[in-house]
Structure 1
């Protein structure tokens, strides 16, 4: 029985479209995928609410029955009604609650939560790199995890609140008014006051909840940022400063919670007063009408429990509505990441580059880029050059010259503003991002590894690689010898050792050698080396140079290096300054030119850098 409900949703299917930015559209995007379950919740909620409304009616009938002169005859005549009510309370209500609970707790809670989390993660991980550069990783993760719970509970709470207040409130009003309009008057007045009560408090609850959620996400981001950079914190003895950085976020979050709780206190106090007035006024009017002989005792016995039920239900519904709008604030915060507009999007007609057929010609045509700066300052300014298939080109220039920007545009981490980049004649904006990056191998200066095994990290760019292929790539990268002696706290050894978050358990040189092994195994036709040996000691660097030269064979190579000796042997060097190519040629040609490159070479060979 449990398995039947638990298997109603397959949460990890690939989503068909991205979540929209509008709040209601965002809700419907996820609700529509499991609307059958929510419809079932509506039905079971209606059943439970109707049964609960009938119980005070049953109590009133029992009181009338006890007042009958001929008790035996009255009991005989009322037997079918009594049996029906007993079965409704004994069988019908538990069955409705069971089904409602199975749908809510065994189908919706695990399935819908998993579905929203999976799809949110699926969309976020495909967002452009700029989104991750401009936010805390901890805050992004917090939004992905909490939005699923908030959206689910908001919808479920809304469903139950709608039915309960509708069924209890209006059914009670109808039943009491049907007996005597004066008996139903307090309920009618209460319903109007309750609507105004909700209209006043609920939007304020929503706004304060959103503020609280935003402050919570910011606090989470700052805490995770401190933990992620714990080595830097300790190296510079900045624990006290980090305390102040996090304390500010804690104080802001505490203040936001305090404002929220202040409103909740007003909320509960006002509601309790409304409910007390309903119960007292219904009781007073009922008793007065009974004293005057206008009502039977059974009608009063029905009205007072109905008023009490409404009062209790109103408190529960109010909290459900409050939770719904609190969760709505969390959802609105999460939407800033999950439904963010992707700045780099594949066109529907985008082609897939086949890595095995890529020759590797790269053309940069009138390429300009500003990072969208308002002052219009160009990081790259009308670059025009061609890298021939199999050519090895080095990029030289001081920090800020535009080298990394050029690489980021080639990898399509940012959308090109002006000009074109073509690979084998294909505009990179007209091919899919994934196929473009599959055709390019990158060894970056800042190497971070996944917190998985060393083997998984090496094979990350080559799914399905065999253990023999992984080990051969590691040997070529001069990594095999240190890998086989590794051991982690879980007893794993060698290639099975987990490297820690971002590879923290390994040295910078070890991480870089694993990154080089990963690119060797990937064997892409275009190779980018961004300070590929910067973290290696001289002995290992010399040992790996021959392997890198072999790795470059037959590939189109773009290499960035501040140590000019590591790129002096390349086919051509381009010297960038202020986003423009100011010199071009081989190492010997540029030395003879006596310009920017020659100056940098003299400084390095003279020991200044």
Structure 2
């Protein structure tokens, strides 16, 4: 039975990947549509439960009246049909409806609903632009996704559950009490107005402080995650005390918002207790007066007092639920700012698949400035023939890595265009483009998974034999066989830790090279691919790199010029422009910048001046 209700919503269904709306209601509606039928069912059952619970109070009032005047000997014979209906409602109808409500709420909604939101948000964020992740904490983004999913669920379910149930319950209560005597219902109506006034005064304040609290919580979490992510740097500089102070500052700000919230809660609870006590007193006084003038029965009084006591208990629940509702509203609004951002790099609606048959690359008058007025790449034109292997050379800041990032379309060019086999990369699908380019970067990070999964990431259909062959070519088998993680998994099954922290820099680089070997893309980018390797290991895998480059179009970046001197052509960049081009020997003979760099570098390294 449980599994049947758990399968009513498929949280992992394929949905569109459009930008989520930025408006609060539109955002909630966008993620609520898949579970709308379940919500309607929950609302119907909540309303039915409210009506039946009030009906039971009327039964009890009638029972009081009967027992006060009925003949004991004939009571059951005269009233058994009515008593049977009461029994069926209490023992069968109400329990069945409550069970259906619980199944829909807990099995069909509370679990699958936020998971559906997480799935859709995750799919969208995976396709966000690189700058999105460069400008934020990864932990903060993940935290926003998790918190926002739960907050949307709470907002929607509280609105359906609380407001449907409460509105129907209160309306039914007023009708029942008013049916006995309109004056008896008057204190209830006055209490409702006072209660709404209390909510009107306090809830906006709670909402504002909840927004501040959500912001403060995100900052606090970001600071803590930043320290944990960079724990090696913290320890290398002996700055645990400094990180404590950094985190304490944000924790103090968060705690101040908590204190402000708790002050409001204390005042609110005190006010609510006062109006609840006034309701009970005024209803009791009115009931006594009306009974004295013989216009209400003892059963009517029993119904009124019972409903008042029930509403008093509900009022506290409603208050906290509404407070929680607006706290979650603040969390959703905070999450919208992160989740509902436009992608800076988007596929065109009619983006075509990319077909790479040869691997020729052409830069046509490309301009790119990272949004600044000062140029990084200015009017760059470059033809790379199919199968040609070129080296990009220049001081840091010359634009080498920017050229690679533009080819990978991590950024869109601001002028000109880039073509692969005659196809403008701005008009093809990004996934297709990157599937045809293998990249080994200087800063290699691995997924927190096994060695096998990290290498097979290059080709998900690869067999274990393929993975082992790639590791052999990357000269990684010797250390992989000796790996063992904390859970006793060895070799290919060993976990590498977050970003591959359990491996040395050289080991991570060799795993990354094995991954690209397995990918076997027609275009290859080597961005300081051997920078983390010592000379002995570099020499050992140099032949494998040449095998990897065979038949491919290659763009290589290296500060160690000896690693790219044998390329077909060397491109020397300065301030985003090509100033020299040719083979190693020709450039040395020309006596230009390349010759200077070759002469001045020590041990094959270039001096660093800025970021490229």
TM value normalised by structure 1: 0.96
| Contact persistence 1:65–1:71 (CA under 8 A) | no
Deviation at 1:168, TM superposition (A): 2.1
Cα deviation, residue 80, structure 1: 2.0
Contact 1:176 1:183 in 2 (8 A): yes
- Gap runs ≥5 in structure 2: 608-612
Q: Which residue of 2 aligns with 1:345?
A: 346
Q: May I ask how many residue pairs the two structures share in their alignment?
A: 605
State the Cα distance separating 1:521 from its structure 2 match.
1.1
Instruction: Give the C-alpha shift of residue 24 in structure 1.
Output: 1.0
In structure 1, the residue matched to 2:254 is 253
Q: Which moved more, 1:239-248 or 1:584-593?
A: 584-593
The equivalent of 2:610 in structure 1 is none
Q: Deviations over 1:45-91 (max 9, x none)?
A: 11111121123212211221122164544554333222212221222
**1:126 alignment counterpart:** 127
Kindly indicate whether the alpha-carbon contact (under 8 Å) linking 1:164 and 1:317 is maintained by their aligned counterparts in 2. no
Q: Which residue of 2 aligns with 1:372?
A: 371
CA offsets 1:548-592 (integer angstroms, 9 cap, x no match): 122112111111111111111111112222222222222222222
> Which of 549, 552, 557 is the matching residue for 2:549?
552
Contact 2:561 2:604 in 1 (8 A): no
Task: Kindly report which structure 2 residues correspond to 1:106-125, keeping only aligned pairs within 5 A, or say none.
Answer: 106-125=107-126
Q: Which stretch of structure 1 is more off in the superposition, 36-45 or 290-299?
A: 290-299
Alignment of 1:405 onto 2:402 = yes
How far did residue 607 of structure 1 move?
Answer: 7.6
CA distance, structure 1, for counterparts of residue 153 and residue 582 of structure 2: 62
Q: 1:455: how far off?
A: 1.4
Does the 8 A contact of 1:164 with 1:313 survive in 2? no
The verdict on how the C-alpha distance between 1:346 and 1:139 changes in structure 2, with shifts beyond 3 A counting, is same
Q: 2:359, 2:386 within 8 Å by CA — same for their partners in 1?
A: yes
| 1:335 counterpart = 2:298 | no
Shift of 1:431: 0.6
Compared CA separation, residues 607 and 442, structure 1 to 2 (3 A): closer
Q: Does 1:449 align with 2:446?
A: yes
* 1:358 has 2:357 as partner: yes
Alignment partner, residue 420 of structure 2: 423
1:205-604 superposed matches below 5 A: 205-354=206-355, 357-373=356-372, 376-604=373-601
Report the alpha carbon displacement of residue 398 of structure 1 after superposing the two structures with TM: 1.5
Alpha-carbon distance in 2 for matches of 1:530, 1:540 = 17
Aligned counterparts of 1:491 and 1:16: Cα–Cα separation in 2? 42
Structure 1 range deviating more: 42-51 or 60-69 = 60-69
Q: Could you tell me whether the CA contact under 8 Å between 2:393 and 2:570 is conserved in 1?
A: yes
User: 1:243: Cα distance to partner?
Assistant: 0.8
Report the CA distance between 1:211 and its aligned residue. 1.9
Please tell me whether residue 140 in structure 1 is matched to residue 141 in structure 2: yes
Question: Is 2:559–2:604's contact at 8 Å kept on the other side of the alignment?
Answer: no
Give, in angstroms, the shift of residue 128 of structure 1.
Answer: 0.9
In the alignment, the residues of structure 2 paired with residue 70 and residue 9 of structure 1 have an alpha-carbon distance, to the nearest angstrom, of 55
Supply the distance in 1 between the matched residues of 2:81 and 2:323 (Cα, whole angstroms). 42
**Range moving further from structure 2, 463-472 or 63-72:** 63-72
Larger CA deviation: 463-472 vs 60-69? 60-69
Deviations 1:529-563 (A, max 9, x none): 00000000101111111221221121111111111
Contact 1:512/1:536 (CA < 8 Å) preserved in 2? yes
In 2, are the aligned partners of 1:362 and 1:421 still within 8 Å (CA)? yes
Q: Secondary structure at the match of 2:601?
A: helix
Distance 1:580 1:607, change over 3 A: closer
CA contact (8 A) 1:168 1:310 kept: no
1:68/1:74 contact within 8 Å kept: no
1:87 matches 2:88: yes
The CA distance in 1 between the partners of 2:414 and 2:195, in whole Å, is 55
Does the 8 Å CA contact 2:560/2:604 hold for their aligned counterparts? no
| Aligned-pair CA distance for 1:206 | 2.3
Q: What is the distance in 2 between the residues matched to 1:158 and 1:353? A: 47
Find the residue that maps to 1:503 and give its secondary structure.
Answer: coil
**Alignment partner, residue 6 of structure 1:** 6
Cα distance between partner residues in 1 of 2:274 and 2:98: 30
Cα deviation 1:169-198 (Å, max 9, x = unaligned): 222222222222211111111222222222
Q: Secondary structure at the match of 2:379?
A: strand
Secondary structure class of the residue paired with 1:533: coil
Distance 1:442 1:207 in 2: 47
Q: Contact 2:17 / 2:124 at 8 angstroms: preserved in 1?
A: no
Task: Supply the distance in 2 between the matched residues of 1:12 and 1:69 (Cα, whole angstroms).
Answer: 62
Mapped partners of 2:460, 2:434: distance in 1: 15
- Per the TM alignment, residue 167 of structure 1 is displaced from its structure 2 partner at its CA by 1.6
CA distance in 1, matches of 2:264, 2:409: 48
Deviation (angstroms), 1:30: 1.6
Deviates more, 1:190-199 or 1:536-545: 190-199
